[in-house]
């Protein structure tokens, strides 16, 4: 599936969560959503950056941010 297909089906991802991994030539777009049971989830889509084709996808629960972990000493 192409990047254009993904954009047409899912709409644009959150640009702040877009990451490029040079060593793998991999571009990751990430969507956040609320599952039917109320849990916040993330769905990253991993693309071959050169070919512009989907390599893989996954769904994972969004990890809560700990206030203690985000405070610098």
73 domain-assigned = no
Ranges assigned E (strand) in 3-73:
19-21, 26-34, 40-48, 53-57, 60-61
Question: What global pTM score does this model have?
Answer: 0.79
58 domain-assigned = yes
The number of domains in the chain is: 1
Which of these, 49, 63, 57, lies nearest to 10 by C-alpha position?
Answer: 57
User: Would you give per-residue pLDDT tens digits along the chain (73 residues)?
Assistant: 999 999 999 999 989 989 999 999 999 999 999 998 889 999 999 999 999 999 999 999 987 766 555 555 5
9 domain-assigned = yes
Show the domain range for 31: 3-63
Residue in the structure block whose two tokens are 């993330």:
42
69 domain-assigned = no
User: What integer pLDDT is reported at residue 37 of this predicted model?
Assistant: 87
């Amino acid at each position: 599936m192409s990047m254009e297909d993904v954009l047409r089906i899912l709409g644009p991802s959150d640009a702040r969560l877009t990451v490029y991994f040079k060593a793998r030539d991999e571009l990751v777009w990430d969507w956040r959503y609320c599952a039917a049971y109320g849990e916040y989830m993330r769905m990253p889509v991993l693309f071959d950056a050169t070919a512009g084709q989907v390599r893989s996808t996954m769904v994972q629960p969004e990890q809560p941010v700990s206030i203690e972990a985000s405070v610098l000493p």
